[in-house]
Structure 1
Amino acid sequence: MKMQLDLNGPSPPLIIHGLKTLIEDGTVETLEITGDGLSNATAIGKLLNIDPSILASSQDVPLVIDLDHGNAAYATFGCVRFLDNQRLLDWLDMVQTGTFRNAPDIEPSTEVLPRLRPTESNQ
């Protein structure tokens, strides 16, 4: 199932609460998130442990999360990609509560990968 979530829509916290349940039970396979909530590049940068300026330049690009029946996931936002369902749920918690923080339970991601794209070396 593919879902779209607009953070500018009605009651995003309520939508996100249901969305987290769908992610945990594997109902949602692909999720595309858009809206002004994504323009908080500093908060997203903290979660992904990457340079916020990279995200800021991509704030009109949706965050796309692909899930494999709740067992694996990857998210692509702008020019970065990260894995790990728990980190996706942590991010949704941060959006839901409005508490963007860098706490011990949100450790820097070790699985941030560049988006696959042609480079000079593989063209």
Structure 2
Amino acid sequence: MTNNIIVTTGIYDAIKDTLRRKKVSMQEEKRLAEELRKAKQVLRRDLPEDVVTVDRKVTIKDHTRDFEHEYIFVASTKAKPAKNKYSILSDIALATVGYKVGDVIDWPFKDGERKIEILKVESL
């Protein structure tokens, strides 16, 4: 598993803003703050192809609930869950952003701790 997430400066700032606005649970806030402290910030062009970020299609295996799902992470203004397009600041995106294919993450979702694995990341 990746020790430090890799994010663009724009994503880093958006997550910081989400924390400031108290848009997440206390457990998520604590975890995200910890992740951001250790995060590696890079330019968009230097972000590896297999890292979860905005404008990428991500296939996730939820080991806790035993299902796979594909998400398309987009800017908050373009989110349309009915079309499988989720904001990069949605719960599932915040749990996986900055991680790469093969990473398994234990994440404190609002409805309880879940173990999720990133199976595939594709650019749009």
Q: 1 or 2 for the larger relative contact order (CA 8 Å, sep ≥6)?
A: 2
TM bin (shorter chain):
0.3 to 0.5
With structure 1 as the length reference, what TM-score do the two structures score?
A: 0.34
Query: Going by fraction, where is strand more abundant, 1 or 2?
Result: 2
